Amino acid sequence: MMLVVPGVVGAAPTPVSQIPVSPTPVSQIPVSQIPVSPRGYSAPLSPRPTVVRGFDNPPQRWQPGHRGVDLAAPAGAVIRAAGDGVIRFAGIVAGKPSVSIEHGDGVITTYEPVRASVRRGTLVRRGEPIGILESGHPGCAAAACLHWGARRGAGHAAQYLDPLALLGAVRVRLKPLDG
């Protein structure tokens, strides 16, 4: 499969096998030892993508919502680690290729549909390629979308976060206590 980097006019296609990845898998790093980028997080696509569907966290965890954001991008776009961390998962979830990264601050970011170029346990740095975007994200208004999610914890204790907040792109509004 060949990959064309979006936004680079006249760029030659790059074989997926040549996407650089961290050379050394890291096994069972305790969360407290996962590096935290001093620069925080960055968007997983470059140039900064367009949000086609925003975060909609339901009031109760069992209710429907949209626990992430959909970012428009062409199929085959390089997906990059939003921050320093360790690959927690790279494989198929419910028929969709997915990658998740555990970061040193306790946040887990998720990326789908992404065909991974990394393996579980691999240490990644912010901005490093982790795979390529595939088409076929349901509900995407664009030709292809990256569903980018963020949470703290796992299972019943998971607290979903708006991943745009990791970029400082979320406006906080305070409401009066008296209604």
Number of domains making up the chain = 1
CA angle 152, 50, 123 (to 5 degrees): 40
Residue 78: inside a domain, yes or no? yes
Residue 173: inside a domain, yes or no? no
Give the mean model confidence (pLDDT) for residues 51-67. Answer: 70
Residue 137: inside a domain, yes or no? yes
Question: What pLDDT does residue 178 have?
Answer: 67
Which one-letter amino acid corresponds to residue 88? Answer: R
Residue 35: inside a domain, yes or no? yes
Nearest C-alpha neighbor of 96 from the set 138, 129, 54, 124? 138
Residue 126: inside a domain, yes or no? yes
Rounded to the nearest angstrom, the gap between the alpha carbon of residue 39 and the centroid of all alpha carbons in its chain is: 17
Give the mean model confidence (pLDDT) for residues 89-116. Answer: 94
Phi, psi at residue 59, to the nearest 5°? -65, -30
Residue 93: inside a domain, yes or no? yes
Question: In this structure, what CATH number is given to the domain that contains residue 158?
Answer: 2.70.70.10
Q: What is the pLDDT of residues 116-156, one digit of tens each?
A: 999 999 999 999 999 999 987 777 777 789 999 999 887 77
pTM over cut 0.95: no
Domain limits at 104? Answer: 22-167
Residue 16: inside a domain, yes or no? no
pLDDT band per the 50, 70, 90 thresholds, residue 174: low
